[in-house]
């Protein structure tokens, strides 16, 4: 996307933000289909109610509108891949495996080991991001999570083979990932076992992966694109620049069981993910479309949420207006009936008086 296109897009977003900002300046007489009587009898009450509804709309939509401002920080030249999941699921290990790392960022099992986004420049076209664990509730961690997911075009949701994502985790996934372009899941098999035991463990993990695929497809719809099965630690051992002291014993055991790094790489199934990442920039057209669609989807989703909020309140407000008009019509009908009754009574009184006058006149004549 060139500078002119980006500026045009920013202007469109600025116009949209201006509409939300100036909601309370919209004239009630132009927007609300009130009868003449309603405007005369209840204009003050309706205006007050209208302003309170607008205030509530603005309050609910303001934070959504602010998200659109992130357009200026979105990446339009390269793909950002965020690794997302619970602490100790293997996110950092997987990144260390992909980047030929030294293992320094691999967690020690404590909660929220990764507190901030860690960026890895894989190439001039691809950045990997290790983000905090999704179970962290601290404001700063949630803020970092949202920041990373706003920037990401592709998200790899990493989860362990010990269990399928729990209900609360799935709720968080839906809440955090619904605005992003593409989501893939990565089931990470953990533990050091002989080849025959690992094969059985991998087969068993396939059932967990299939069930999780169905859950995520249902939650995320066409945002969810597929899944991988890996042994991230074996992948790291097979490609590590160096092995940290706390992992040396595990590394020695793994080499003893599998005899070489090449075998560890084969059993890790890491090459499936490497192939996926390495081929992202090769087809330039698809590569650019992924970036564009990822960014536009975020923008459009936020706008849709704002409009949905406004329409929700409009529906409530229209119902209130309808109720007011109904009550006013009932009052008007009552006035009309009383008017007819009064008219009849007046006519009756006048006729009676006329009859008396006629009698009296005849007597005098």
pLDDT for the residue numbered 31: 46
Mean pLDDT, the chain, whole residue set: 75
- 293 inside domain: no
Residue 162 neighbours by CB under 8 Å, 6+ apart: 190
pLDDT at 247 over 70: yes
Task: Please report, for the domain that includes residue 254, its CATH number.
Answer: 3.40.50.300
Q: Say whether both 128 and 251 belong to one domain.
A: yes
Residues 91-109, mean pLDDT to the nearest whole number? 81
Q: Are residues 47 and 181 in the same domain?
A: no
> Do 101 and 228 share a domain, yes or no?
yes
Q: What is the residue range of 352's domain?
A: 1-73+307-365
The band of 104, judged by pLDDT with boundaries at 50, 70 and 90, is confident
The reply to whether 187 falls in a domain is: yes
Q: Per the domain annotation, does 200 fall within a domain?
A: yes
Residues 46 and 171 reside in one and the same domain: no
Instruction: Render pLDDT for 10-27 as a digit per residue (tens, 0 to 9).
Output: 666 666 656 656 655 554
Q: Is 187 helix (H, G, I), strand (E, B) or coil?
A: strand
The predicted structure's pLDDT at residue 263: 95
Structural domain total, the chain: 2
Q: Which residues of 149-160 are buried (b: 16+ CB within 10 A; e: fewer)?
A: bbbbbbbbbbbb
Which secondary structure element, helix H or strand E, spans residue 158, and what is its range?
strand 154-160
Residue 250 and residue 157 in one domain: yes
Whole-number pLDDT of residue 271: 95
Query: Considering 282, 317, 340, which residue would you say is the last residue of a domain?
Result: 282
Residue 102 to residues 92, 95, 171: CA-CA distances in angstroms? Answer: 11, 11, 34
* 214 domain-assigned: yes
């Amino acid at each position: 996307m060139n500078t002119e296109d980006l500026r045009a897009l920013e202007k469109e977003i600025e116009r949209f933000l201006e509409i939300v900002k100036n909601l309370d300046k919209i004239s009630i007489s132009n927007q609300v289909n009130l009868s003449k009587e309603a405007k005369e009898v209840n204009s003050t009450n309706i205006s007050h109610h209208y302003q309170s509804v607008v205030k509530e709309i603005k309050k609910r939509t303001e934070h959504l509108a602010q998200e659109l401002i992130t357009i200026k920080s979105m990446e339009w030249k390269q793909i950002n891949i965020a690794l997302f999941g619970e602490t100790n699921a293997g996110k950092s290990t997987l990144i260390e495996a992909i980047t030929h790392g030294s293992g320094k960022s691999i967690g020690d099992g404590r909660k929220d080991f990764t507190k901030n986004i860690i960026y890895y420049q894989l190439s001039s076209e691809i950045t990997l991001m290790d983000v905090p664990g999704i179970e962290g509730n601290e404001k700063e961690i949630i803020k970092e999570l949202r920041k990373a997911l706003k920037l990401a075009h592709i998200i790899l949701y990493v989860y362990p083979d010990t269990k399928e994502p729990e209900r609360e985790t799935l709720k968080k996934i839906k809440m955090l990932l619904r605005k992003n372009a593409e989501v893939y899941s990565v089931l990470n098999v953990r533990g050091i076992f002989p080849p025959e035991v690992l094969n059985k463990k991998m087969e068993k993990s396939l059932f967990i992966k299939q069930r999780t695929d169905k859950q995520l497809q249902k939650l995320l719809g066409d945002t969810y694109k597929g899944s991988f099965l890996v042994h991230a630690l074996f992948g790291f051992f097979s490609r590590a620049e160096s092995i940290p002291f706390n992992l040396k014993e595990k590394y020695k055991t793994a080499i003893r069981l599998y005899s070489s790094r090449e075998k560890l790489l084969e059993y890790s199934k890491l090459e499936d993910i490497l192939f996926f990442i390495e081929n992202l920039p090769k087809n330039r057209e698809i590569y650019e479309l992924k970036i564009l669609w990822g960014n536009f989807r975020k923008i459009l989703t936020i706008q849709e949420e704002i409009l949905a909020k406004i329409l929700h309140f409009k529906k409530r407000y229209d119902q209130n207006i309808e109720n007011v008009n109904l009550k006013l019509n009932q009052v008007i009908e009552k006035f009309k009936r009383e008017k007819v009754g009064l008219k009849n009574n007046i006519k009756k009184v006048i006729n009676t008086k006329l009859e008396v006058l006629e009698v009296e006149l005849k007597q005098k004549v």
